[in-house]
Amino acid sequence: MPWPLSTAAAANISPLHFQQHHQQQQQVCWHQQQQHHRQRLRCSSVSRQSSAAGHCSSCCAAQPAASQGFPPLVRPGSRAGQRPSRSVSLRVVALERDEDYEQPPEAGVLPDVARRLEADRSSSPTGSRKAAASNPISLTNPIIRAGGSSSSSSSTAGSSSPTPGSSSAPSSSSSSNGAGPAGLSAAAPSATAPAAAAAAAAGAAMQQQQAAASAAAAELAGASSGPAVSPAGLSPLYPPAERSQIQESWDALMRWSKTFSKRSGSGLSPIEAADKVVVFGGGSFGTAMGSSLALKKPQLDVVLLLRDPYLCKDINSSHCNTKYLPGFTLPRNVRATTDAAEAIAGAQYAVHAVPVQHSRAFLTGVREVLPKDVPIICVSKGLEVGSGCMMSEVIPSALGRRQPAVFLSGPSFAKEVMQGRPTGVVAASKDAALAREIQELFASPCMRVNTSTDVTGVEICGALKNVLAIAAGIVEGLDLGHNALAALIAQGCAEIRWLSQKVGAKPATISGLSGLGDIMLTCYGDLSRNRAVGVRLGRGEKLHDILASSTQVAEGVATAGVVVGLARKYRVSLPVLTAVAQVLDSNLEPAEAVAAVMNLPQIEER
């Protein structure tokens, strides 16, 4: 084909341009085959034997048809052996007449169909050059003169070659059928071996033609006014100006990251300075956070302080928390003990992972052996039943003194932390320097740690989201659909915002990782313990049976009643969270609670 293309142009072809031009090239090749077969039919000296070999003496110079670069005559998009329709057969008969084999019309003398196509192209605002790019088939081609259509037509004629050893099957074709090279070279079983060899050689010839078609499509695409093509072969999404701005913004972000890392990288990091970390409690999240520190520094001694001697033995012997994290192998530098004095002695940090309702008693028991300067990193979330206190109030009250403390919260499932999946949390402390220290202690390629001084906001959001997760589980258990679930969570987020702001939380905290981020994870995540309780309630199970069969604590069950008391204290109405407390207390059935909330007066959103 007369398509001089450079290698660079062919390398920039897009998949869309390749598909379009590939189909157009198939049309061109088919029309050339038509002309070739007609010329052979006109040769009076053709013998049956020479025709079976795929050549004639006068027009082909005893060269097989495959050597001409043409496979057996098959309409693009058709299948070998497909039976032509009556209308197609009639058109084939019309094409076989001698007058149809005459020279194409002179320039400027176009048949009716071609004239209409030319008028449409000339009236297009994109110009004749883009029209030619969309359909390179010549308007003077005899197939158009005989009543054919352009490559975008939905129905075209196919013809069967009367030459022995080759056959064709007509079919409907469109610009979207995407027929490949195999579709062009496929033909009905030939009667002779030479014809089969010719078909095989034609397949190789068509592969070369496809390379030319790809290069032509690239050149045509470059000639058009469309967007540039990326070296990877994919068209860019944004215009050049926007792409430049995006790249500049990203480069600026990376430069800031490198500069910030150099400034904060001086001195000994907390993980390098630490020799021992104690973890209060052997639950899933406490074990996961201890393991993440152990992986950062293999020489670090991480000790889990447990009350279960059997679990302690399992961890030390098999390096697996068989009760809360079965199937996960703990690092070799993680061990367990039931001796509080041994666990705490020499530790630079203490990770508190004891459930909120048991924290006061636990801290009271270890206050004599816990040094006053050891920071407590609290990962427990909830409100204490009876007092309504947050953990930032329980810790100093139980220890009888002010203790350095940081509160770690955010969307973080223990199993995904153990798997090393990306996780983001917030370290909140009234001491900003201590918050940054804990940030450096836990930060890793798998864990981002933001800092905050809004301890109240981080804690209250971490407590209220557990109650909302139970409500989300109830909706799931009742199979009320995605609309109901989204509306419920949106209403619950608003209620958490109302109460949090009354308590003193900052709006940025509510919309951050420890607020909205933790809410989304707990309400939608299948690993959420509180959501699992709600699902089982919605399916008709009793709360007593649910809690008896669970090995882990769902803090939202105990927190729901405290939340209602806190709302009454600050005079805030919480319809969804109050309904959860009613369901947990067996005063309402889940379906009744949903119906009651839905029938509340229609109000303005706030």
In the numeric block, the tokens 């004599």 are attached to 368
Mean pLDDT of 226-233: 53
| Distance in angstroms (rounded) separating the CA atoms of residues 410 and 393 | 20
Instruction: Please give the C-alpha separations between residue 249 and each of 196, 230, 260, 443, in angstroms, as whole numbers.
Output: 60, 20, 16, 25
Asked if residue 197 is part of any domain, the answer here is: yes
Nearest to 332 by CA among 357, 366, 361, 297: 297
Residues 277 and 377 reside in one and the same domain: yes
Asked if residue 35 is part of any domain, the answer here is: no
CATH of the domain at 553: 1.10.1040.10
Q: Which residue has the higher pLDDT, 411 or 96?
A: 411
Of 43-57, 286-300, 318-332, give the lowest mean pLDDT range.
43-57
Residue 293: the pLDDT is 97
| Distance in angstroms (rounded) separating the CA atoms of residues 435 and 375 | 10
Give 120's pLDDT tier (boundaries 50, 70, 90). low
Q: Which residue has the higher pLDDT, 415 or 190?
A: 415
Q: Is the pLDDT of residue 444 over 90?
A: yes
Mean pLDDT of 525-537: 95
Residues 413 and 469 reside in one and the same domain: no
Residue 113: the pLDDT is 46
One DSSP character per residue, 480-507 reads: --HHHHHHHHHHHHHHHHHHHHHHT--H
Q: Which residue has the higher pLDDT, 484 or 186?
A: 484
3-state secondary structure of 386: coil
Q: Over the stretch 90-111, which tens digit does the pLDDT of each residue have?
A: 333 344 444 444 444 444 444 4
Nearest to 71 by CA among 145, 172, 180, 152: 180
Give 207's pLDDT tier (boundaries 50, 70, 90). low
- 324 sits in the region (left: phi over 0; alpha: psi -120 to 50; else beta) called alpha
CB half-sphere exposure, 379, CA atoms < 13 A: 25
Task: For residue 426, report the phi and psi dihedrals to the nearest 5 degrees.
Answer: -125, 135
Q: Which domain holds residue 323?
A: 270-453
Asked if residue 86 is part of any domain, the answer here is: no
Residues 102 and 240 reside in one and the same domain: yes
Mean pLDDT of 426-448: 96
Q: Is the pLDDT of residue 532 over 80?
A: yes
- Of 236, 262, 288, the position where a domain reaches its end is 262
Residue 295: the pLDDT is 96
The C-alpha angle 338, 344, 345, rounded to 5 degrees, equals 115
Task: For residue 279, report the phi and psi dihedrals to the nearest 5 degrees.
Answer: -115, 120
- Of 238, 262, 286, the position where a domain reaches its end is 262
335, β-bridge pairs: 303
Mean pLDDT of 253-275: 85
Active-site residue, selected from the candidate residues 465, 502, 506, 569: 465
Q: How would you list the strands of the sheet with 423-428, edge to edge?
A: 334-337, 301-305, 276-280, 349-352, 376-378, 405-409, 423-428, 447-452
Asked if residue 333 is part of any domain, the answer here is: yes
Asked if residue 153 is part of any domain, the answer here is: no
Residue 134: the pLDDT is 42
Q: Over the stretch 153-187, which tens digit does the pLDDT of each residue have?
A: 344 334 444 444 443 444 443 343 444 434 333 33
* The residue type at 430: K
Residues 194 and 210 reside in one and the same domain: yes
Q: Over the stretch 334-392, which tens digit does the pLDDT of each residue have?
A: 999 999 999 999 999 999 999 999 999 999 999 999 999 999 999 999 999 999 999 99
Average pLDDT, the chain: 76
Residue 553: the pLDDT is 86
Q: Is the pLDDT of residue 271 over 90?
A: yes
Q: Which helix (H) or strand (E) holds 349?
A: strand 349-352
Instruction: Please give the C-alpha separations between residue 422 and each of 328, 377, 413, 419, 553, in angstroms, as whole numbers.
Output: 17, 21, 11, 9, 25
CB half-sphere exposure, 277, CA atoms < 13 A: 34
Question: How many helical (H) and strand (E) elements, i.e. helices and strands, does the chain have?
Answer: 27, 8
Residues 131 and 236 reside in one and the same domain: yes
**Domains in the chain: how many in total?**
3
Residues 415 and 311 reside in one and the same domain: yes
Give 4's pLDDT tier (boundaries 50, 70, 90). very low
The C-alpha angle 181, 183, 184, rounded to 5 degrees, equals 70
Residues 247 and 277 reside in one and the same domain: no
Residues 277 and 375 reside in one and the same domain: yes
Return the structure tokens found at 329: 């192998």
Q: Which helix (H) or strand (E) holds 377?
A: strand 376-378
Q: Over the stretch 16-42, which tens digit does the pLDDT of each residue have?
A: 555 555 566 666 666 666 666 666 655
Q: Which residue has the higher pLDDT, 199 or 438?
A: 438
3-state secondary structure of 583: helix
In the numeric block, the tokens 């990251």 are attached to 257
- Of 241, 262, 283, the position where a domain reaches its end is 262
| Distance in angstroms (rounded) separating the CA atoms of residues 451 and 150 | 65
Q: Which residues contact 424 (CB under 8 A, 6 or more apart)?
A: 410, 411, 412, 447, 448, 449, 450, 513, 517
One DSSP character per residue, 138-169 reads: -TT-HHHHTT---TT-S--------STT----
Q: Is 297 a catalytic residue?
A: no
Residues 476 and 444 reside in one and the same domain: no
What own/partner pairs with CB < 8 Å and gap ≥ 24 does 535-541 have? Answer: 535/473, 535/474, 535/476, 535/477, 536/473, 536/477, 537/470, 537/473, 537/474, 537/477, 537/583, 537/584, 537/590, 538/473, 538/474, 538/475, 538/476, 538/477, 538/478, 538/479, 538/590, 539/477, 539/478
Return the structure tokens found at 461: 């959001």
CATH of the domain at 409: 3.40.50.720
Handedness of CA 123, 127, 128, 130 (dihedral sign): negative
Asked if residue 352 is part of any domain, the answer here is: yes
| Distance in angstroms (rounded) separating the CA atoms of residues 237 and 304 | 52
Return the structure tokens found at 327: 């199937």
Give 552's pLDDT tier (boundaries 50, 70, 90). confident
Give 260's pLDDT tier (boundaries 50, 70, 90). confident
Asked if residue 40 is part of any domain, the answer here is: no
Asked if residue 364 is part of any domain, the answer here is: yes
Q: Which helix (H) or strand (E) holds 448?
A: strand 447-452
Residue 435: the pLDDT is 97
Strand runs labelled E in 43-164: none
Give 86's pLDDT tier (boundaries 50, 70, 90). very low
Residues 398 and 478 reside in one and the same domain: no
Q: Is the pLDDT of residue 298 over 90?
A: yes
Q: Which helix (H) or strand (E) holds 208?
A: helix 193-223
| Distance in angstroms (rounded) separating the CA atoms of residues 380 and 209 | 68
Nearest 10 degrees: Cα torsion 10, 11, 17, 22? 50
Q: Over the stretch 511-523, which tens digit does the pLDDT of each residue have?
A: 999 999 999 999 9
Handedness of CA 283, 285, 286, 288 (dihedral sign): positive
Nearest to 315 by CA among 298, 333, 301, 299: 333
Residues 410 and 438 reside in one and the same domain: yes
Q: Over the stretch 574-583, which tens digit does the pLDDT of each residue have?
A: 999 999 999 9
Q: Which residue has the higher pLDDT, 179 or 484?
A: 484
> Residue 266 carries which DSSP code?
-
Residue 91: the pLDDT is 39
Residues 366 and 328 reside in one and the same domain: yes
